Amino acid sequence: MTTERNESAAKGRLDTVKHAAATPEAEQPWKELGLKEDEYARIREILGRRPTGAELAMYSVMWSEHCSYKSSKVHLKQFGEKVPVNDAMLVGIGENAGVVDVGQGYAVTFKVESHNHPSYIEPYQGAATGVGGIVRDILAMGARPVAVVDPLRFGAADHPDTRRVLPGVVAGIGGYGNCLGLPNIGGEVVFDACYQGNPLVNAGCIGVMKHEDIHLAKASGTGNKVILYGARTGGDGIGGVSVLASETFESTGPAKRPAVQVGDPFQEKLLIECTLEIFREKLVAGIQDLGGAGLSCATSELASAGSGGMRVELDTVPLRDSSLSPEEILMSESQERMCAIVEPQYVERFMAICEKWDVIATDIGEVTEGSQLEIFWHGEQIVDVPPRSVAHEGPTYNRPYARPDWQDALQADDANKLPRPATSGELREQVLRLVASPNQASKAWITDQYDRFVQGNTVLAMPEDAGMVRIDEESNLGVTMATDGNGRFAKLDPYAGAQLALAEAYRNVATTGAKPLAISDCLNFGSPEDPAVMWQFAEATRGLADGCLELGTPVTGGNVSLYNQTGDAAIHPTPVVAVLGVIDDVNRRTPMAFAEEGQLLYLLGDTREELGGSAWSQVVHDHLGGVPPRVDLGREKLLAEILISASRDGMIDAAHDLSDGGLIQAVTESCLRGGKGARLIVPDGLSAFTFLFSESAGRAVVSIPRSEELRFNDMCGARGLPVTRIGVVDGDEIEVQGEFSIALSELKSAHEATVPGLFA
């Protein structure tokens, strides 16, 4: 019955270009496909006729918010305008992922993407295919993927639905990433009620290549073949277009197609190995992964970036479900597929490599002399469009934005005025509550579900400040990545919040001894149609662009995820920033563990009374108000320089950055990691409370051998970084002199029991 439909379609009911030209008045379901009236009118204007069903399908997905960035583009422009002088950039924004030079002839590409919505509907598969998608992006740049990271946000830790979503998401990320053989070296897990109906599942990947291996997504060279390879195409992820199919094909329309895709990590692993072998033999002229919008996106982007046109015989696409209509094939988001442009003389070899890896590969068309993207179905033309108009010339909106009227009241509700612990006993009790709270507690139960050792190059991974992998076994060159984003800070002040996210990730990278080079981001926000959300977005992007300019770390690419809201309630604005760093010799890396009894603890940076948006205000008072900690990017840069020099010169044995939870959180983590206690002295001029809980930015704590104390102090003094000796590594408890002490064993069980208690 299914082939019958296709045959009858081929016999005349197919909406061909000719038919479209002849029937200008035919009704089309543009509205159901999410297009606005003026957008539909523009398509008609571009084509000089009504679009065919297939063309309408392509425009509707490619002009969607997700693919066209129509609401965010005007703001993202800044990342290309406020570019810091940084000679590491090899490929900038606009490609599948940016590429930076890390020295010794190596280049690194990295990117973070969101898979938020699918992960709420089907946590396992949603998260799994999120990993799959970002890995293909990196692969498409010509790089071998070497590590993944996964910044995650969930609803309240104790909400019953979080019990459904979190274990599924974690199993999905692990199930897919572990099976690909990519070590998971970092990420975040944050709980907040604002994410209840809208968890954030961001996934990032790092890839490594030699400079000469960079591949770009373009189709040029008349006569070159378009080869689709990987999984067969099925009806996944094309929910919306089935409307179109059933309109076009009357009553025999297929059942509603699922909006969720199922991933096959095994197939992806084969795709990776196969593609890398193809790269090694230099067989491709251009390459593109198939992600959102599937073939529509891959063909239009490849053609748009190339010099000529492209002709595709859509009926040659290998299918898993023979009932798919041409529109559906164009839109299908079936996973684990890639599209390559191959010179005719290399096709045979290309096919042989695919055969070796059991990967199906099909010649589906070729690069043509013209300038149009032309798609045929059993010999009849169903698409004839200028590819740029689909891929790059979608609508752009300058949506109205306005500082929300509640922002002032929120900032006026000052967290510094919240009641503080009155006694040492209360202070002690609040420390224990803090380190046991879901956001500050150990995430080992989660991260232990990820393989962090595979490939045998992992130098640092969770719970270290940043992940680090060796990329050259001879020279010990390594790369580092940290991701951060604090939605609470961003809610209080989106401009500062974005800069704090950047500063924290930057600091985390530097803490390990690596030099921060460049960033990628994943901007998770509510509906752009809400002026308050749009203001948050505008402020956050402005903050991030300004911050990158000042820190000298360009934005190499990223991802925007809008409409993260439940009803009218938007999530906290959540810009997640991934900073990539490089270290010449991984032997010099600085770990976080306080492991050497007798070493001195120094606090670097200034501690002010800054509790707005802090973990303390959340855990003890369930409060969000005031302003976030002050941002001083000049100071962040100086701190980073000190941490990097100290690691290079072997002055420090351990370091840990200070962020949410403040000093006591950082010291607890480093002591537990090293299995040693610490005696702390409250510095003059600070209350014990502020010393322990303030979240002032630009700080880190380091452990220094006594023999290096003088040299270290001299270096900091000479460069003007305030440092304070705050104690010593000692014993098996954390003691805050004159206040309280807590046995490591008690801290350990408080810190480690929470997450398994909730989810195991």
Partner 1 sequence: MARVVVDVMLKPEILDPQGQAVQRALPRLGFDGIADVRQGKRFELEVDGPVDDAALARINELAETFLANTVIENFTVKVEEEK
Partner 2 sequence: MTARIGVVTFPGTLDDRDALRAVRIAGAEPVSLWHRDKGIQQVDAVVLAGGFSYGDYLRAGAISRFSPVMGTIIEQAKAGLPVLGICNGFQILTESHLLPGAMLRNNHLHFICRDQKLRVENAETAWTADYTAGQEISVPLKNIDGRYVADERVLDELEAEGRVAFRYLDGNPNGSLRDIAGVTNAAGNVVGLMPHPEHAVEPLIGTGRTDGIGFFSSILKKLVNA
Q: Which residues bind partner 1 (CB under 8 A)?
A: 121-122, 125, 231, 234-236, 254-255, 257-264, 266-267, 320-321, 334-335, 358
Left, alpha or beta for 598 (phi > 0: left; psi -120 to 50: alpha)? left
Amino acid of residue 638: L
Residue 453 contact, options ligand ADP, partner 1, Mg ion, none, Cβ 5-8 Å cut-off depending on partner type: none
33/138 with CB nearer ligand ADP: 138
The distance in angstroms from the start CA to the end CA of the chain is 48
The residue number with the shortest CB distance to Mg ion is 465
Measured CA to CA in angstroms, residue 753 lies from 444, 494, 747, 749 at distances of 10, 33, 10, 6
Tokens of 736: 């805050």
465 part of the interface to Mg ion, by CB under 5 A: yes
Residue 257 contact, options partner 1, ligand ADP, partner 2, none, Cβ 5-8 Å cut-off depending on partner type: partner 1
The number of CA neighbours under 13 Å toward the Cβ of 509 is 30
Which of 303, 285, 309 shows the shortest CA–CA distance to 368? 309
Element (H, E) at 574: strand 574-583
Q: Which residues in the 659-688 window bind ligand ADP by CB under 6 A?
A: 659-660
What is the distance between the alpha carbons of residues 515 and 645, in angstroms, rounded to a whole number?
10
Instruction: Please pick, from the candidates 72, 184, 694, 724, the single residue that binds ligand ADP as defined by CB under 6 A.
Output: 184
What is the distance between the alpha carbons of residues 500 and 85, in angstroms, rounded to a whole number?
21
Buried b (16+ CB within 10 A) or exposed e, 351-383: bebbeebebebbbbbbbbeeebbbbbbeebbbb
Instruction: Please pick, from the candidates 51, 123, 168, 186, the single residue that binds ligand ADP as defined by CB under 6 A.
Output: 186
In DSSP terms, 109 is beta-bridged to: 99, 207
Which of 730, 712, 734 shows the shortest CA–CA distance to 721? 712
187 part of the interface to ligand ADP, by CB under 6 A: yes
What is the distance between the alpha carbons of residues 682 and 684, in angstroms, rounded to a whole number?
7
What is the distance between the alpha carbons of residues 67 and 133, in angstroms, rounded to a whole number?
14
Which of 230, 260, 83 shows the shortest CA–CA distance to 168? 260
Instruction: Please pick, from the candidates 197, 463, 531, 731, the single residue that binds ligand ADP as defined by CB under 6 A.
Output: 463
448 part of the interface to partner 2, by CB under 8 A: yes
Beta carbon of residue 661, minimum distance to ligand ADP (angstroms, whole number): 8
Beta carbon of residue 336, minimum distance to partner 1 (angstroms, whole number): 9
Instruction: Please pick, from the candidates 93, 134, 270, 339, the single residue that binds partner 2 as defined by CB under 8 A.
Output: 270
Angle between helices 37-47 and 53-62 (to 10 degrees): 120
Beta carbon of residue 270, minimum distance to ligand ADP (angstroms, whole number): 25
Residue 121 contact, options Mg ion, partner 1, partner 2, none, Cβ 5-8 Å cut-off depending on partner type: partner 1
Dihedral pair phi/psi, residue 292, rounded to 5°: -55, 140
* Segment contacting ligand ADP by CB under 6 A, of 309-317, 348-356, 656-664, 720-728: 656-664
* Segment contacting ligand ADP by CB under 6 A, of 307-315, 457-465, 545-553, 740-748: 457-465
Q: Coil, strand or helix: which one is 512?
A: coil
> How many CB atoms within 10 Å of residue 597?
12
Q: Which residues in the 489-518 window bind ligand ADP by CB under 6 A?
A: 508
574 part of the interface to ligand ADP, by CB under 6 A: no
344-383 mask for partner 2 (x: CB under 8 A)? -------------xx-------------------------
Which of 500, 560, 505 shows the shortest CA–CA distance to 533? 560
Beta carbon of residue 330, minimum distance to ligand ADP (angstroms, whole number): 35
455 part of the interface to partner 2, by CB under 8 A: yes
Measured CA to CA in angstroms, residue 651 lies from 506, 709, 717 at distances of 21, 8, 15
Tokens of 371: 């300038």
Residue 109 contact, options ligand ADP, partner 1, Mg ion, none, Cβ 5-8 Å cut-off depending on partner type: none
What is the distance between the alpha carbons of residues 443 and 615, in angstroms, rounded to a whole number?
16
What is the distance between the alpha carbons of residues 505 and 106, in angstroms, rounded to a whole number?
23
Residue 258 contact, options partner 1, ligand ADP, partner 2, none, Cβ 5-8 Å cut-off depending on partner type: partner 1
Residue tagged active-site, from 75, 115, 215, 623: 115
465 part of the interface to ligand ADP, by CB under 6 A: yes
187/528 with CB nearer ligand ADP: 187
421/516 with CB nearer ligand ADP: 516
40/445 with CB nearer partner 2: 445
Q: Does residue 115 have an active-site annotation? A: yes
Write the CB contacts of 405 (distance below 8 Å, at least 6 apart in sequence).
none
Instruction: Please pick, from the candidates 150, 328, 657, 752, the single residue that binds Mg ion as defined by CB under 5 A.
Output: 657
Beta carbon of residue 484, minimum distance to ligand ADP (angstroms, whole number): 5
Helix residue ranges per DSSP H, 140-241: 160-180
Which of 368, 362, 355, 404 shows the shortest CA–CA distance to 538? 404
Tokens of 517: 């080079």
161-200 mask for partner 2 (x: CB under 8 A)? ----------x--xx--xxxx-------------------
Instruction: Please pick, from the candidates 196, 458, 524, 668, the single residue that binds partner 2 as defined by CB under 8 A.
Output: 458
Beta carbon of residue 28, minimum distance to partner 2 (angstroms, whole number): 42
Distance from the Cα of residue 384 to its chain's centroid: 35
Q: Which residues of this chain interact with Mg ion, rule CB under 5 A?
A: 465, 508, 657
Could you list the active site residues? 66, 115
Which residues in this chain contact ligand ADP in the complex, by CB under 6 A? 150, 152, 184, 186-189, 443, 446-447, 462-465, 484, 508, 657, 659-660
Residues lying near partner 2 in the complex (CB under 8 A): 171, 174-175, 178-181, 264-267, 269-270, 357-358, 447-459, 470, 473, 586-587, 589, 760
